[in-house]
Amino acid sequence: MILFRPFLMPSLALGVLVVCLCLPQQVLAASRAPQFSESGMVASRSGWASQVGADILAAGGNAVDAAVAVGFALAVTYPSAGNLGGGGFMVIHMADGTVDTNDHRERAPLAATRDMYLDEHGDVIEGLSTASHLAVGVPGTVDGLLAVLEKYGTMTRAQVIDPAIRLASVGIRLDRDLAGQFERRLKDFAPYPASMGVFSNKGKPWQVGDVFKQPDLAATLRRIKRHGREGFYAGKTADLLVAEMQANDGLITHEDLAQYRSVWRQPVRGTYRGHEIVSMPPPSSGGVLLVQMLNMLESRDIAASGFGSAATVHAMVEAQRRAYADRAEYLGDPDFFPVPVQTLTSKDYAEQRYADFDPDKASLSEDIGAGEIPLESPDTTHVSVMDAAGNAVAYTTTLNLSFGAKMVAAGTGVLLNNEMDDFSAKENTPNFYGLLGRTANAIEPGKRMLSSMTPTIVLKDKQPLLVTGSPGGSTIITTTLQVVINVIDHGMDVADAVASPRFHHQWQPTRILLEQRGLSPDTLSALAAKGHTEITPIPSFLGRGIGDANSVMRTKQGIVGAADPRNAGAAIGVP
């Protein structure tokens, strides 16, 4: 018997910038179908931001220029996850074969301490790591986007930031998606006057069709345009951010901001059935777990067992169970903890880790600990970009929970993150997403918290085939895994690969999350017979579901973009 439990949980012309107050209806309609272009493609959660990226490509920019412009635009048009006050990861493939990753994950303030969220009894104080100024990590997005632009972009800072400035200052006409997001969170914004000043209309909910302007955010963007990173990490913006912290018992200081730098890291690489996987290294756990799970699954004939079959789901769940157990033990910030990346992503380790896989019987999570190896660590948004020259970018950015800590730093228009919850506040105590952690991800001053973000580029014959990734907290990694497997094993086009039903397992808790009607009754019965008896259904209608994998794929017919039908994103190509 299966136990079901409820789950709680504008346009640019060449040389001229023109912002539309409303998204053209044809863009909204097109976002639900795959888009084709020979000249470049952008897929993101926001139609306004995707249009900005596509127009940057049309104006002669490369995929990096477009991704950076989209990153700044998302802070305006998708503020629940797009941001200046959060952080992210970017995986880059250049046409000359160069592959690089930029880590602009937030850092713990210098005054942070290991037990800062525990009471005198050693218990976690509820809400302190998610809904207080102590939840805020030192933001990394601005430094990261500017560092990426400087190293691999071709356009000026003004060219890539101007679209976001205009969207913030002229405004956008709210659609049902954004207006609904703001209204649902109104009670969370209510304690913070600066948040209410942005996300309410004088205390009342914004309505569909209202023109939504963000003058403080536009001013902050102008300072970044004029002064670069110093326009955010020093000067007026920094003064306002620090004043917000000092007035509310937060920890971030001028020293924290001045010391922040994004980090260039070597990507995690793997192979899977003749394809090369390029993904994000720690402090992201995504790339390591993605490659590890693919290595385990390579021993199974997934194509023969078929999409959605009990055999396929069982094999994938058991790989997920083992990989997430390792995540809890070994993954963290590599600048503070010796993360055994090479071992965890090796074929030999996968063979050893999967050796006890039983095709007829589910494992018990309590019996699955971390593998024995020598040591050497929900609201986000993902952007996929390809250009005609062969450059590709996978970019995932976040504030952690939806709208982060729900606090706007007064005078800046900048929403603050609550990424400190991604540390292990206490060993073996779950965070908001139910993920466990230990010493590898303990809080330390200046340390980057572990993440599940998994921006990924799949190469075939050394050329980008697929750019993908997702938001979704702990489900990010398994969402990305399923898109990759859908393309490689099941031969799906990118639209079907993204739209197909998803499931998720993360070791603890031991349940399988499954999108409603994602598997047939016969498959569910077969899984129950194997011992998978606790399955939690997830609503899969628009705005809900597991993940939001806006993806781009190169085909013989051209570059194809697919916005995830679970949400109101858009894939927009260069005409």
Structure tokens at 523: 């498959």
Stretch 169-190: mean pLDDT: 96
Could you give the 3-state DSSP secondary structure of residue 454? coil
* Mean confidence (pLDDT) of the chain: 89
Stretch 174-196: mean pLDDT: 96
Helix (H), strand (E) at residue 33: none
The dihedral of CA 282, 287, 293, 294: what is its sign? negative
Structure tokens at 344: 């965890």
pLDDT of residue 199: 98
Is the pLDDT assigned to residue 381 strictly greater than 90?
yes
Low-confidence winner among 277-291, 414-428, 435-449 (lowest mean pLDDT): 435-449
* Band (507; pLDDT cuts 50, 70, 90): confident
Is the pLDDT assigned to residue 22 strictly greater than 60?
no
Stretch 221-246: mean pLDDT: 98
pLDDT of residue 543: 52
Structure pTM?
0.90
β pairing state of 534-538 and 512-515 = parallel
pLDDT of residue 431: 54
265-379+454-573 belongs to CATH 3.40.47.10? no
Task: Check: CB of residue 109 under 8 Å from CB of residue 422.
Answer: no
Low-confidence winner among 187-196, 259-268, 314-323, 370-379 (lowest mean pLDDT): 370-379
Q: For the chain, what are the domain ranges? A: 10-88+100-262+401-419, 265-379+454-573
**Phi and psi angles of residue 301, each rounded to the nearest 5 degrees, phi first:** -90, 80
Could you give the 3-state DSSP secondary structure of residue 493? coil
Percent of the chain whose predicted confidence (pLDDT) is above 90: 79
pLDDT of residue 10: 35
Could you give the 3-state DSSP secondary structure of residue 314? helix
Partners of 457 in the β-ladder: 278, 467
| 380 has catalytic annotation | yes
Amino acid (one-letter) located at 355: A
Amino acid (one-letter) located at 191: P
pLDDT of residue 265: 98
Q: Which of 220, 380, 398, 468 is catalytic?
A: 380
Is the pLDDT assigned to residue 361 strictly greater than 80?
yes
Low-confidence winner among 10-14, 122-126, 142-146, 148-152 (lowest mean pLDDT): 10-14
* CA–CA distance, 122 with 154 (Å, rounded to integer): 52
pLDDT of residue 4: 37
Amino acid (one-letter) located at 310: A
pLDDT of residue 539: 72
Task: Check: CB of residue 244 under 8 Å from CB of residue 271.
Answer: no
Low-confidence winner among 250-254, 515-519, 541-545 (lowest mean pLDDT): 541-545
* CA–CA distance, 167 with 106 (Å, rounded to integer): 26
Is the pLDDT assigned to residue 76 strictly greater than 90?
yes
Burial class (CB in 10 A: 0-12, 13-18, 19+), 275: middle
pLDDT of residue 301: 97
CA distances to 31, 171, 177, 179, 526 from 209, rounded to whole Å, are 20, 11, 11, 9, 49
Is the pLDDT assigned to residue 376 strictly greater than 90?
no
Burial class (CB in 10 A: 0-12, 13-18, 19+), 213: middle
